[in-house]
């Protein structure tokens, strides 16, 4: 039994499983492995230092897969923002057909991508944001529950509520994101009104993820309680793995007079990159979600996707049908 949904049809993929855009992780080897396994792999644009580097990474991904893949462009408020328009143009120039947008005020980017015929998925953490993105003309929504790694917004709504709440109002196809890592989650997402799942942390713990094995083993060893919420007092909440670094960030932030400058040295993206690439877990933050509690191994992307789909098909065929009373 194949799981065919509006998401698989829209994206031209075999299975309704998408790899989220992840800073320093969404590189060609991971995106290609996910796409080759029948999902949708996604490169992370801002992982590349310049738009020309992104062009080269897109070209490299094409040498590794002939299947569809996308590019994530996350827009964050900044005093000195990266050249978003140039990254956007690189995506268009390279003939990418699917883009995942996320973050702050995406309208300019969505309109430009749509004008060039790209399929746009927008990541949201609230129903009101999803409806706003739908009005902008996006083709699909990725709705991100409070369980997720990264920035879950400030409403603290978990997926069990957020996904059906969004499904009640959003008309374009929807991916469920945050807390997904196995076939049970995929079936639950479909039951709640989504048409596929978006996974980040689960794909970090795969053979092809271009990060140090010590980070993968941290994710495997951690349980669902082993995350910290940081930046809460600065209204930019982020969920990260519990490590010595994130514990320090939480402790410093709890001080009554704390300001962002007090934690800046601990939370820089450059230091997070060092942690991911060297395995030095004391070097910087490791972004991970509560789904750590469901991750117990480091398979290949193909093994993982086939396992998830197989579990989902078995649940749908056997377990759910078993609840039906005989006529």
> How high is the pLDDT of residue 323?
73
Cα–Cα separations (whole angstroms), residue 149 to 23, 61, 277, 285, 287: 12, 25, 19, 12, 6
List, in sequence order, the alpha helices (H) in the chain: 6-11, 28-36, 51-64, 84-93, 107-115, 127-136, 159-167, 183-192, 201-204, 213-221, 244-253, 260-267, 269-278, 301-314
Domain boundary assignment for the chain: 6-210+298-323, 213-290
Those residues whose C-beta lies under 8 Å from the C-beta of residue 195, and which sit 6 or more positions away, are: 5, 6, 7, 16, 173, 174, 175
Mean pLDDT of the chain: 96
Q: Helix axis angle, 183-192 relative to 301-314, nearest 10°?
A: 60
Supply the DSSP string of 46-82, one letter for each residue. GGSSSHHHHHHHHHHHHHH-SS-EEEEEEE---SS--
Burial 263-302 (b: 16+ CB within 10 A, else e): beebbeeebbbbbbeebebebbbbbbbbbbbbbeebbebb
> How high is the pLDDT of residue 2?
78
Compute φ and ψ for 102, nearest 5 degrees: -155, 155
For the stretch 19-49, pLDDT in tens is 999 999 999 999 999 999 999 999 999 999 9
Task: Report the CATH number of the 6-210+298-323 domain.
Answer: 3.20.20.70
* 327, pLDDT greater than 60: no
For the stretch 142-166, pLDDT in tens is 999 999 999 999 999 999 999 999 9
Residue 12 CA to residue 139 CA, distance in Å, equals 13
Residue 31 CA to residue 25 CA, distance in Å, equals 9
For the stretch 243-286, pLDDT in tens is 999 999 999 999 999 999 999 999 999 999 999 999 999 999 99
End-to-end CA distance of the chain: 25
pLDDT band at 80 (very low <50, low <70, confident <90, very high): confident
Q: Is 96 in contact with 122 (CB distance < 8 Å)?
A: no
Q: Is 322 helix (H, G, I), strand (E, B) or coil?
A: helix
Cα–Cα separations (whole angstroms), residue 250 to 14, 96, 228, 262: 42, 40, 7, 11
> How high is the pLDDT of residue 326?
54
43 DSSP assignment? E
* 82, pLDDT greater than 80: yes
> How high is the pLDDT of residue 325?
59
Cα three-residue angle 156-160-162, rounded to 5 degrees: 55
> How high is the pLDDT of residue 16?
98
Out of 115-119, 261-265, 313-317, 323-327, which region has the weakest mean confidence (pLDDT)? 323-327
Cα three-residue angle 150-293-129, rounded to 5 degrees: 30
Mean predicted confidence (pLDDT) in 70-84: 90
| Percentage of the residues of the chain whose pLDDT score is greater than 70 | 98
Mean predicted confidence (pLDDT) in 308-313: 97
| Percentage of the residues of the chain whose pLDDT score is greater than 90 | 94
> How high is the pLDDT of residue 293?
98
Residue 304 CA to residue 273 CA, distance in Å, equals 25
Q: What token pair was written down for 73?
A: 């462009």
In the block, residue with structure tokens 């049970």: 184
> How high is the pLDDT of residue 105?
86
Those residues whose C-beta lies under 8 Å from the C-beta of residue 228, and which sit 6 or more positions away, are: 239, 240, 241, 242, 246, 247, 249, 250
* 136, pLDDT greater than 70: yes
Residue 131 burial (CB count, 10 A) = 16
Q: Listing from the earlier edge strand, what are the strands of the sheet with 17-19? A: 17-19, 197-199, 174-177, 140-144, 119-124, 98-103, 69-75, 41-44
């Amino acid at each position: 039994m194949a799981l065919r949904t509006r998401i698989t049809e829209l994206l031209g993929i075999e299975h309704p499983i998408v790899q989220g855009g992840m800073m320093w992780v969404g590189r060609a080897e991971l995106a290609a492995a996910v796409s080759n396994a029948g999902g949708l792999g996604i490169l992370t644009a801002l992982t590349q230092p310049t738009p020309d580097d992104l062009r080269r990474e897109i070209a490299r991904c094409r040498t590794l897969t002939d299947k569809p893949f996308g590019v994530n462009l996350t827009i964050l408020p900044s005093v000195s923002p990266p050249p978003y328009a140039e990254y956007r143009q690189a995506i268009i120039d390279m003939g990418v057909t699917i883009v995942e947008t996320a973050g702050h005020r995406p309208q300019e980017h969505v309109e430009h991508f749509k004008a060039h015929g790209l399929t746009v998925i927008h990541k949201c953490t609230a129903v009101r944001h999803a409806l706003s993105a739908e009005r902008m003309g996006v083709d699909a929504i990725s709705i991100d529950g409070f369980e997720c790694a990264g920035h879950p917004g400030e409403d603290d709504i978990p997926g069990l509520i957020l996904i059906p709440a969004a499904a009640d109002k959003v008309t374009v196809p929807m991916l469920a994101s945050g807390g997904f890592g196995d076939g049970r989650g995929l079936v639950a997402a479909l039951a709640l009104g989504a048409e596929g799942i978006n996974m980040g942390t689960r794909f970090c713990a795969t053979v092809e993820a271009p990060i140090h094995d010590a980070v993968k083993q941290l994710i495997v060893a951690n349980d669902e309680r082993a995350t910290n919420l940081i930046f809460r007092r600065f209204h930019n909440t982020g969920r990260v793995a519990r490590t010595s670094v994130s514990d320090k960030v939480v402790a410093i932030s709890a001080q009554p007079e704390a300001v962002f400058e007090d934690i800046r040295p601990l939370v820089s993206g450059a230091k997070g990159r060092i942690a991911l690439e060297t395995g030095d877990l004391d070097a910087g933050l490791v972004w991970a979600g509560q789904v750590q509690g469901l991750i117990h191994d480091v398979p290949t992307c193909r093994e993982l996707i086939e396992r998830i789909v197989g579990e989902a098909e078995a649940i749908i065929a056997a377990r759910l049908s078993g609840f039906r009373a005989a006529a």
